Structure 1
Amino acid sequence: MLTPQEHYETFLAEKYSWMIGDADQKEAEAAELFRSWGISPMGNRIAWDLGAGSGVQSFPLARLGFRVLSLDLSSKLLNELSSRNVGLNLETREADITAPSLYAGECPELLVCMGDTLTHLESKTSVRKLFRLWGSFLKSGARFALGYRDLGRGKIGEKVGFPVRVERNRIFSCILSFEEDKVLVTDLYHEWDGNLWNFTTSSYCKLILPEAKILEWADESGFSLRQQGESKGMSLFLFERNG
C-alpha cells in the first residue's frame, strides 16, 4: 500500500484532471461557492490554495482578483496547473502543507483547503496540529475555506465499489474498505488500446474525519464558523480567525 503522495505520483496525477471531469464546470462550481460566501479580496489580496491539484479553486480565486499561491506535493499536477495559467496572478509551489516552516512571512487574507487534502494526512493528530498552525499564522479577520469528504458514514468492515468516470475506452472505478479510523481506497483503471483492456490499480488510505472534530479543532485554534453546507458529498465550511 502506498502513501497518498506515492499514489498520486505513480498512479493518479496523470489521470486526475480527466477523472474529475470538465475543468470549466468544476471551476464554475467553485466560483459559485465563493460568490455565495461573499469571498472577494478585501485586504492584502493574497490567497493560498492548499492541496491545489490542477487548480479547481486556484483559477476562480485568481479571476476574483486574488494573488494566488497554489501549493501541492504533486509536481505533476502543479506543472499542469502552470501550463493552463494564462495571464492570471498565480504562482505554484511544491510544498508539504503540514511543515511549520511554510507558515512564515506575510500571511494570506484567505486560506483555502478543499477536496481530499485533509483526509490524506497521516492521522487525526496531524490534522489537529495543522489547525493550530493555521490559527497561529493567520491574522484576525482572515478567512479559511475548507471542504472535504466525511467518510464516517460507512461501517467497519464494509466494502463499497463504484465507477468514478466511464468513457468508451477508459474506465476509472474505486473500492472503499472501511476501517475504524481510516478507509482503504483502491483505485482501478482500465484502458482499451484497440486490441485489449489494460488494467492498473493502486491503493492508499484516507482519514475518517467527523465534522464534530473539525468544528472542535477550528474552535480551539481561534476560528469562528461563518458558513456551513454540503455539496455532492463534500462537507463545506467557511471560518474566520477571531480577534
Structure 2
Amino acid sequence: MVGEGGGRAALDVGCGTGRQSIPLALLGWRVTAVDINDGHLERIRARAERQKVPLDVERCDMRALAVRYHGVYDLVVCCLTLDHLLTDGEIGRALHGMWTALRPGGQCYLRLDDLEHLLRSRPRYAFREERRVPHGRVIRLEDWEYQGENHVVCRTVFLHEDDRRPGNRWHTDVFSYRRRALRRADLCELLGAAGFEEIELLPQDIPGGYYEVLARRPEPPESTG
C-alpha cells in the first residue's frame, strides 16, 4: 500500500507487537512505533532486536499524540486500534494528533474491523479455528454482546484440551474488551473535522472483515503576497 520508504519517516500508532512497524522498517521507512501497552512495547523491542530492524519504540497514548509529535512524519498508520476509543471526543483527539504528527502533504492510513457489519446482522457467536497442539488441541470462538447502536463487547474464547489430564481435559481462557462500532460515514466525518482532506475508502475484499481509509494532511495554501 505504501511502497518503499526511501528514508522517509513513519509513525505506527497502537503498534502492538510490530505487525506493521517491522515490515515498514524493512521497506526503508524510519519508523517510530508507539503504544500504551508496556507488554506490547517489550515484545516489539525484542522482535526488532532479534530481526536486527532499526526501530524507535516509545510509550504514548494515541489521545496525546498532538502534545508530542509535530509535523515530522510522512506517513501515519493505525491498524485495528482506533475503535478501542469509545467516544467521538476521544477518537477526534487521536485523529487530530495524527494530523498534527504529519508533515503537510503527509498521508494517514487507517484499518478497522468492520463492526458496522456486525451491527447490521448481529450474530451471537462464531467458530474461528481448531488446531492441533502438542498433547491436545485449541478451539477458538468469538462471542459478541451488543450495547446500543455504537458499542460491541467482543469476547475471544480459547478452549484448551490436554490429553495428559484424564477426567479434566479442558480449560478455558476468555479475553473480553469493549469497542466502538465506528461506521464509515462517522469516521470520514471525524477525519474531516480533524483537518484531513482527500479522504478515501479503499475497496473491501471481504465483507465483514476490515475496512481501510486513506486521508491526507493538506499542504498550506500558497502565499499570494
Q: Which amino acid aligns with 1:184?
A: V
Aligned to 2:173: 200
Of the structure 1 ranges 145-154 and 94-103, higher mean CA displacement relative to structure 2 is found in 94-103
1:175 shift after superposition: 0.3
Contact 1:47 / 1:67 at 8 angstroms: preserved in 2? Answer: yes
Matched residue count: 205
Runs (4 or more) in structure 1 with deviation over 4 Å come to: none
1:142 shift after superposition: 0.8
1:229 partner SS: coil
Q: Distance in 1 between matches of 2:120 and 2:27?
A: 43
1:62 shift after superposition: 0.4
Residue number among 178, 182, 191 corresponding to 2:151 in the alignment? 182
User: Does 2:18 align with 1:89?
Assistant: no
Distance verdict in 2 for CA 1:188–1:54, change over 3 Å: same
Of the structure 1 ranges 189-198 and 101-110, higher mean CA displacement relative to structure 2 is found in 101-110
Q: Percent identity?
A: 24
- Structure-1-length-normalised TM-score: 0.75
Q: Distance in 2 between matches of 1:105 and 1:129?
A: 14
> Of the two, which has the highest radius of gyration?
2
1:54 shift after superposition: 1.6
Name stretches of at least 5 consecutive residues in structure 2 with no aligned partner. Answer: 220-225
Aligned to 1:230: 204
User: Does 2:35 align with 1:72?
Assistant: yes
1:212 shift after superposition: 0.7
- When you count helix as a share of all residues, which structure comes out higher? 1
Q: Distance in 2 between matches of 1:93 and 1:123?
A: 25
Post-superposition CA distance 1:62-120 (Å, at most 9, x none): 011011111122222222222222222212223211125653356211100012x0111
- Structure-2-length-normalised TM-score: 0.81
Q: Which amino acid aligns with 2:25?
A: A
Residue number among 208, 215, 219 corresponding to 2:188 in the alignment? 215
User: Does 2:108 align with 1:144?
Assistant: yes
Q: Distance in 2 between matches of 1:139 and 1:106?
A: 4
Aligned to 1:4: none
User: Does 2:3 align with 1:39?
Assistant: yes
Post-superposition CA distance 1:119-146 (Å, at most 9, x none): 1113122112222222234221111111
Q: Which amino acid aligns with 2:26?
A: R
Q: Distance in 2 between matches of 1:222 and 1:74?
A: 28
